[in-house]
Structure 1
Amino acid sequence: MASSRDRQRKLARAKLDRQLARRAARARRRRRIQAGVGAAVVLALIVVGSAWALGAFDEDPKENAAAEDVCLWTPQDATANTSLKDVGTPATKGLPTSGTRPMTITTNQGGPVTVELDLASAPCAGASIAHLASRSFYDNTKCHEITAEGALRCGDPSGTGLGGPTYSFYDDENVPVQPEASPSASPAPGQPPAYPKGTVAMMANPPGSNGSQFLVFFKDYSPAKPAYSVIGKVTGGLDVITKIGALPTVDNGSGAKVKPKTDVVIQSLTVGEATTAPAATTASGAPSASPSAG
């Protein structure tokens, strides 16, 4: 019969063996876990690296462009200027910045007059006019001036030259550069006019901020220092604008004989959807009038 000491040694040895077995099992599990984690990390790095190489993390320029403000609209105080008309504000994001947009003007003097708005050169003007047209802002308003420069001035519901929407936007979107233009308003030899016949441009009022007023030129015009933003060109009905330009004028109340003696009323002004076709421009940066316009 084994002594009590021998039994104790055997029990201690069995206990030690069990402890060693448990430690070994834990070590094997730990190594398997570590191996699995390591493999997962390596696989993740491979996937991320492949995705990066394929450009998955590159920013989409179209999404960025849509997310950024294309145009900013500055509020105007309608209480200080009662000639302003509140029809809301255009969107600032996701506006078209390429191609063209058709505009159609029908007046009591004839029409329609069709215009191609240049969204690539004047996206904010195009967005503003489209917004205003969608609110019938221009409908049943008078073109209140035939300018000395040879343009019909329209777009002020008040007919005073002081009106517009309750917002404005910067006025240097697409101002032609005429470094060689002479003070006599005649282009230098070989230099095309800054504002060819048929040009449509914004009329900033007050100076430095555009609103709703625009000019339609029925004559070539080349000032020494162009100031009007070119926004498009007449593509049809230029003869109507030319006929209006020949109307007699009377004093507009400020001593300037520029008001048409016969009322010139915009019965409707509409703007269609944007297209991708680029607008043709002259060497001066201004859209050229179509030879067949009219």
Structure 2
Amino acid sequence: MKRPTLLLALVLLAAGLSACTSATPATPGAEGGATCSYEAAGTAARQVDLPPTTGVPNTGTVTYTLQLDEADLAVTLDQEHAPCTVNSFISLAKQGYFDNTECHRLVDGNGLYVLQCGDPTGTGTGGPGYQFADELTGDETYTAGTLAMANAGPGTNGSQFFIVYADSQLTANYTVFGHVDAEGIDAVAGIAEGGQDGSWADGSGKPLTPAVIKGVTEG
């Protein structure tokens, strides 16, 4: 059975999650840009092609719009600090991987305030059929508006990510690859106000207010 991709917040879910460190981080590309590695892992929740692995943009930022129900979240993706993560996210977005997917987990207490998305199965176990390395400095903070990767241990990034809607206390184990604008934070906070069903073992759960990503587009 697949294990869920979780946030290892505080001490809630630290036990029993093995680490996988086979993935390698970005390296400078010979022809400009970064070189990334994406390794096969599990069965894809939706069939997609692997992201490009060479010439990956590694400077500046790019803006995307994440349509969450009726709200348009303006997302700034950080190609400089997380080129391989942004590259994967954009590849999945362009292939429609995130379209009509449910944000399956809301955490709303104990210093952690996040909405977790990116799994077409809606179970927390789904991924794109590949994984890749963390892109961490060790100085990551998870303030309101942060967009970061969920994982099941080192080197297990796939498609699941989380949006922080209020300042949260997390160890620097989750790749930060972008930020959501103020209106987007308000939209996610509005979903959080509706509560969650407590269906996860740590007391978090599925949001009671619908939270469906209709699409992710450039611009």
TM-score (norm 1): 0.59
| Partner Cα separation in structure 2 for residue 63 and residue 221 of structure 1 | 35
Task: Give the equivalent residue in structure 2 for 1:70.
Answer: 35
List aligned pairs for 1:97-108, cutoff 5 A: 97-108=58-69
Deviations 1:230-283 (A, max 9, x none): 1011124221111112221103365734211232111111235xxxxxxxxxxx
| Partner Cα separation in structure 1 for residue 120 and residue 203 of structure 2 | 20
| Partner Cα separation in structure 2 for residue 156 and residue 267 of structure 1 | 13
Task: Give the equivalent residue in structure 2 for 1:228.
Answer: 174
| Partner Cα separation in structure 1 for residue 104 and residue 85 of structure 2 | 20
Residue 87 (1) aligns with residue 53 (2): no
Any stretches of 5+ residues in structure 2 without a counterpart?
A: 1-27
Aligned match for 1:241, one of 176, 182, 188: 188
| Partner Cα separation in structure 2 for residue 63 and residue 170 of structure 1 | 17
Aligned length: 188
| Partner Cα separation in structure 1 for residue 153 and residue 102 of structure 2 | 19
Between structures 1 and 2, the one with greater strand share: 2
List aligned pairs for 1:3-82, cutoff 5 A: 64-66=30-32, 70-78=35-43
Counterpart residue identity of residue 151, structure 2: A
Counterpart residue identity of residue 198, structure 1: G
Deviations 1:32-73 (A, max 9, x none): xxxxxxxxxxxxxxxxxxxxxxxxxxxxxx98244x861100
Shift of 1:164: 1.2
Aligned match for 1:199, one of 146, 149, 153: 146
Residue 126 (1) aligns with residue 91 (2): no
| Partner Cα separation in structure 1 for residue 137 and residue 151 of structure 2 | 12
Q: Is the 8 A contact 2:34 2:58 kept in 1?
A: no
| Partner Cα separation in structure 2 for residue 195 and residue 209 of structure 1 | 19
Between structures 1 and 2, the one with greater helix share: 1
Q: Is the 8 A contact 2:136 2:172 kept in 1?
A: no
For 1:216, what is the secondary structure of its paired residue? strand
Counterpart residue identity of residue 268, structure 1: G
Counterpart residue identity of residue 85, structure 2: A
| Partner Cα separation in structure 1 for residue 59 and residue 122 of structure 2 | 32
List aligned pairs for 1:234-273, cutoff 5 A: 234-235=180-181, 236-252=183-199, 254=201, 256-272=203-219
Query: Which structure would you say has the larger Rg?
Result: 1
Deviations 1:96-124 (A, max 9, x none): 0001111211122x310011000000001
Distance 1:218 1:253, change over 3 A: closer
Counterpart residue identity of residue 64, structure 1: A
Any stretches of 5+ residues in structure 1 without a counterpart?
A: 1-61, 179-193, 273-294
Shift of 1:196: 1.1
Shift of 1:228: 1.0
Q: Is the 8 A contact 1:84 1:163 kept in 2?
A: yes
Higher relative contact order (CA 8 A, sep 6+): 2
Task: Give the equivalent residue in structure 2 for 1:150.
Answer: 113
Aligned match for 1:113, one of 73, 89, 94: 73
Counterpart residue identity of residue 41, structure 2: Q
Q: Is the 8 A contact 2:196 2:206 kept in 1?
A: yes
Deviations 1:110-154 (A, max 9, x none): 310011000000001110011000110001000011124101111
For 1:260, what is the secondary structure of its paired residue? coil
Aligned match for 1:213, one of 154, 160, 166: 160
TM-score (norm 2): 0.78
Identity of aligned residues (%): 35
For 1:243, what is the secondary structure of its paired residue? helix
For 1:115, what is the secondary structure of its paired residue? strand
Counterpart residue identity of residue 166, structure 1: G
Counterpart residue identity of residue 129, structure 2: T
Counterpart residue identity of residue 86, structure 2: G
Give the CA RMSD over aligned residues.
2.2
